[in-house]
Amino acid sequence: MSKILALYHNEMIKFSHQLLVWALIAIMSVVTILASTFYVKMNGEEEFVMDQVDKSSITASYDSAKEQLGDPNRFVKHSTIRIQTSSDVIELFSTYYDFGEDEEATKNLYNYLNMSICSAMLVNYDFDKYPITQTALSQNAYAEYTLAFRSLIYHNMTPFGERDSAWYDEYCLINQELEFARSALFNHNYKDYVEAIKLHYSAYPITDTLDIQIQSRIAEVDVNGEMSVSETLHLNEILVNYFIAKDCLLKGAEFSGGSYTPLTESRRADLEDAVQILDYQLAHHSYASYENSNASQSVMFGISLGRLFLIVLAIIIAGSSISNELATGSIKSLIIAPVKRWKIFVAKLLAILTWILGGGFLITLLSTICVGCTQGFSSLLPYFYVSGGSVKSIPFLLFAFLYFLASSIEMLVYVLVAFVISCNSKNAGAACGISTALIMSGEIINLFLEGYGRHTWMDFLPYYNMDITSKVFSHLPLCGQQTLDSGLLSESSPIGLSLGFSTIYLIILTITLLWIAYDGFVRKDIQ
């Protein structure tokens, strides 16, 4: 063992004295830093921007609506209503608006009414403290308040003669709704908003329970109504999937492609875990928000670009590690030394792995730090998973590194190919060239295969077994790694192969390649 460590130490010294290695590490670092820092700017989704609502804009809108409408009293009509009681006839005067066929005037009147309502109801509203465009609650409650106010006004337009007990019940409901909406807006209480929309929906025969469920869940998270519009929209999106997932579990079937298909055992377990994680995240206020998602994807983008250079570095290191020594003859001082040849082989392999893993950790760390500094470290969510019935999490940095590893299997295989050639040839260029060519031809073949459609035999191709990220991390969408649409509800493994199959496949592939390398270096004579 001590000999292997000594050999390993020497290998690390050799690599660390190569200028090319450091040059590539420098390029890799710079690319990672730039990519992770500017990902949001390059790729950032548009913020959801609403029109500014404040006192002056409402006043201005009210003034213009009034001007367009002209004198509202010119549409007022009077009529006499005759009510026949058991003993008497009562005559009442009624006032109502009559536009006739004038659509333009109708539109103007509605506009005028809306703006006068807004103007009236927001007299005492503190726009500076809770700007209506900034938080989702103020916007929703504002809309709901306006709606309820309008309903009340229209409700009151019902001529007296048509008012019955149903009218009165509804009148009470609208008043309640209005009261809740007002409280939600003025006191910034999300729960009151939920109460208001419950009352609102109760007036309709088909109640949209999903929306109420979602808004209730949001109310639990955002009690004081401080979340931004985009954040709430994101949470809304998560909750839509959450409740659909729950619904699927309840029904035991999934709606896809226009029909229900029964849940498979693994799919059910997957959905159950997802629901449990989401419950936990919502309870702990650590679900993947809009910001989390951006931050997490920035890190992964940095890693994926940095990795391009890491592949080059890894292939050069692996491809030259033995063949270069054979070509220059420096292998002699290793062969003469009192160390068995398999130990040299193992030490070299370990050293190559160290550089790859070290490089991987470097790009993970760099992009995490860059994103942490630009978008806040708190925006980097841990990865959640279910183990033994309870929700557990791993810190973001560790998760990002594991994610890097899981997504680098393909790279490791190509590096191993370079190492195999390196063990069997003095030609380092061939080792690097052939493995690079393999990467490219692999991509081209995949391109053709994708056009060919999916077939069962393709499951046995290396390509379909090399990306195990989604198989290892089945709940990536829950930490903002993918959009929910592509993750939580669609099949978590896009390829119908289990993690177990891919693992065994990769182990066999690795052992075969290692054996060829071992045979080439350890068992053959060195001329």
Partner 1 sequence: MADQSIEPALIIKDATKTFGKKTAVDHISFDLFPGEVFGFLGPNGAGKTTLIKMVMGFIRPDEGTIIINGFNRKTHYEKAMSSIGGIVENPEMYANLSARLNLKMYARLHDNISDERINEVLEMVGLSERADEAIRKFSLGMKQRIGLAQSLLHRPKVLILDEPTNGLDPAGIHQLRDILKHCAHEEGVAVMVSSHLLSEMQLMCDRIGIINKGKLLQICSIEELMNQANGSIYRIKTSDPVRAKKILSESYDHSITHLTADTLDIEIDESQINECVRVLINGGSDILGVQKVESSLEEAFLEITGGGIDIE
Contact residues for partner 1, defined by CB under 8 A: 3, 6-7, 9-10, 13-14, 17-18, 328-330, 332-341, 525-527
Q: Of the two residues 239 and 317, which places its CB atom closer to partner 1 in the complex?
A: 317
* Least distance in angstroms from the C-beta of 49 to partner 1: 58
* Least distance in angstroms from the C-beta of 339 to partner 1: 6
Q: Of the two residues 58 and 423, which places its CB atom closer to partner 1 in the complex?
A: 423
Residue 254: partners with Cβ closer than 8 Å, 6 or more residues away: 248, 260, 261, 262, 263, 267
* Least distance in angstroms from the C-beta of 481 to partner 1: 42
> Of how many residues is the chain composed?
527
Question: Please, what is the Cα angle at 272 between 267 and 276, to 5 degrees?
Answer: 150
Q: Of the two residues 269 and 526, which places its CB atom closer to partner 1 in the complex?
A: 526
Return d(Cα 52, Cα 131) in angstroms, integer.
9
Cβ-count burial of 492 within 10 angstroms (0-12 exposed, 13-18 middle, 19+ buried)? buried
* Least distance in angstroms from the C-beta of 16 to partner 1: 10
Q: Of the two residues 14 and 66, which places its CB atom closer to partner 1 in the complex?
A: 14
Tokens of 514: 């290692």
* Least distance in angstroms from the C-beta of 358 to partner 1: 20
Return d(Cα 88, Cα 67) in angstroms, integer.
45
Q: Which of 428, 350, 346, 313 is nearest to 12 (CA)?
A: 350
Q: Of the two residues 4 and 253, which places its CB atom closer to partner 1 in the complex?
A: 4
Q: Of the two residues 334 and 381, which places its CB atom closer to partner 1 in the complex?
A: 334
- Return phi, psi of residue 330, to 5°: -70, -15
* Least distance in angstroms from the C-beta of 21 to partner 1: 11
Return d(Cα 463, Cα 379) in angstroms, integer.
33
* Least distance in angstroms from the C-beta of 427 to partner 1: 17
| Ordered DSSP codes for 166-221 | HHHHHHHHHHHHHHHHHHHHHHT-HHHHHHHHHHHHHTSSS--HHHHHHHHHHHHH
**Helical segments of 322-340, H only:** 323-328, 331-336
* Least distance in angstroms from the C-beta of 527 to partner 1: 8
Q: Of the two residues 172 and 337, which places its CB atom closer to partner 1 in the complex?
A: 337
Please name the residue that has the structure tokens 């009681």. Answer: 85
Q: Of the two residues 187 and 330, which places its CB atom closer to partner 1 in the complex?
A: 330
